[in-house]
């Protein structure tokens, strides 16, 4: 049976109505529900949801690390909670997803920004001593996005979600390449959902200032996450583009956020495929929303980006993408990076 959340709401004031969702017996029969909030917006969120909380307990999530998630998971087990609601940005939601899986209880995701497709994905991206890793987790039981909080989030984080969902287009092509070259099974429904998510954002003329655009972006990111649930992996939303961003994170931590790097990675992969039409569409969308397009836009030199592309395949061993297919030498990669900058640079 197709996995799907009990409910999905994208609107202003969603957090204030959280109590209505928590009263649903499908979420918790006894009412023992915890609400996990981050350190940034935690106080404001707690104040907004207080009137509708009922018996729910507010717990704090220190950061987006494995340690913070494990600590939250221990608190959830001690409190004998039936469910937990993660309210906040990507770090808080990812930590709460992992904590819920450790505690063996369902999780409800309430997003206050739209930085990436982790809102609904079966993956928690968490920081640990050796770097950053992806951990498999169950899909959230329900999803809410409060547009009032999204409007208050840093614009760079909201734009990041655009880059992340656009990279689906490149990831799909990599998955199909794996099918053609190596016989890797593909899931048509997962591909359709992932592509629909990206196409919904690709040609829209409005921007993150408009509720209509934010609603479409939220729905696209959620749909992207659901495509990964159906596929049973991140394949429909993560290809050579994400290999590059993970390599940048490893080699040059703090360079930029997830979605911005995913957007650059996707554009570069389309350049490698010599697909001028799709490259033009992706770079035009990135520019329209003020997202970086070439490595220099995020402070990376040609040599640094070349190093990241060379390391990229090792970040997802066994995954076949345009990078593994071309198997370019370091000299060849450097040449392609220089050509890419000349072709699409301002």
Which residue's entry shows tokens 């969902």? Answer: 165
- Say if residue 3's pLDDT is above 70: no
The two counts, helices (H) then strands (E), for the chain are 14, 8
Kindly report, residue by residue over 227-238, the tens digit of the pLDDT: 998 998 999 999
Residue 55: C-alpha distances to residues 7, 31, 34, 49, 210 (Å) = 21, 6, 9, 12, 36
Kindly report, residue by residue over 249-264, the tens digit of the pLDDT: 999 999 999 999 999 9
Which residue's entry shows tokens 């109505």? Answer: 17
Cα gap 96→37, rounded to integer Å: 9
Cα gap 238→338, rounded to integer Å: 24
Burial of 326 (0-12, 13-18, 19+ CB in 10 A): middle
Instruction: Report the DSSP beta bridge partners of residue 134.
Output: 125
Q: What percent of the chain has pLDDT over 90?
A: 64
Kindly report, residue by residue over 151-187, the tens digit of the pLDDT: 988 999 899 999 999 999 999 999 999 999 999 999 9
Cα gap 260→294, rounded to integer Å: 10
Cα gap 92→53, rounded to integer Å: 19
Kindly report, residue by residue over 35-66, the tens digit of the pLDDT: 898 877 767 777 777 666 666 688 889 888 99
Q: Of 167, 339, 131, 333, which is closest to residue 252 (Cα–Cα)?
A: 131
Residue 22 contacts residue 84 (beta carbons within 8 Å): no
Q: Of 268, 279, 285, which is closest to residue 321 (Cα–Cα)?
A: 268
């Amino acid at each position: 049976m197709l996995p799907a959340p009990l409910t999905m709401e994208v609107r202003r004031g969603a957090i204030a109505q959280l109590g209505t969702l928590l009263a649903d017996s499908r979420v918790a029969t006894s009412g023992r529900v915890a609400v996990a909030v981050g350190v940034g917006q935690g106080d404001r969120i707690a104040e907004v949801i207080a009137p509708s909380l009922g018996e729910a307990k507010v717990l704090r999530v220190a950061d987006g690390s494995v340690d913070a998630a494990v600590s939250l998971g221990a608190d959830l087990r001690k409190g004998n909670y039936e469910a937990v609601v993660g309210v906040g940005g990507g770090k808080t939601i990812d930590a709460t997803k992992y904590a819920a899986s450790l505690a063996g209880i369902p999780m409800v995701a309430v997003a206050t920004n739209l930085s990436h497709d982790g809102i609904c994905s079966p993956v928690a991206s968490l920081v640990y001593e050796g770097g950053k890793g992806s951990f498999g987790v169950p899909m959230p039981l329900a999803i809410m996005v409060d547009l009032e909080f999204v409007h208050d989030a840093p614009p760079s984080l909201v734009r990041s979600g655009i880059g992340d969902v656009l990279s689906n287009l490149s990831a799909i092509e990599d998955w199909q390449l794996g099918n053609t070259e190596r016989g890797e099974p593909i899931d048509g429904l997962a591909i359709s959902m992932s592509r629909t998510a990206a196409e919904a954002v690709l040609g829209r003329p409005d921007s993150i200032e408009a509720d209509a655009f934010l609603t479409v972006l939220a729905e696209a990111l959620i749909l992207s996450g659901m495509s990964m649930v159906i596929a049973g992996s991140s394949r429909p939303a993560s290809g050579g583009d994400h290999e590059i961003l993970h390599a940048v994170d490893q080699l040059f931590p703090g360079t930029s956020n997830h979605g911005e790097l995913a957007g650059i990675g996707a554009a570069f992969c389309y350049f490698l495929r010599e697909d001028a039409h799709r490259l033009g569409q992706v770079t035009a969308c990135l520019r329209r929303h003020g997202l970086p397009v070439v490595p220099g836009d995020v402070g990376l030199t040609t040599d640094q980006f070349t190093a990241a592309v060379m390391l990229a395949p090792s970040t997802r061993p066994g995954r076949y993408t345009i990078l593994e297919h071309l198997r370019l030498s370091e000299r060849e990669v450097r040449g392609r990076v220089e050509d890419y900058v000349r072709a699409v640079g301002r």
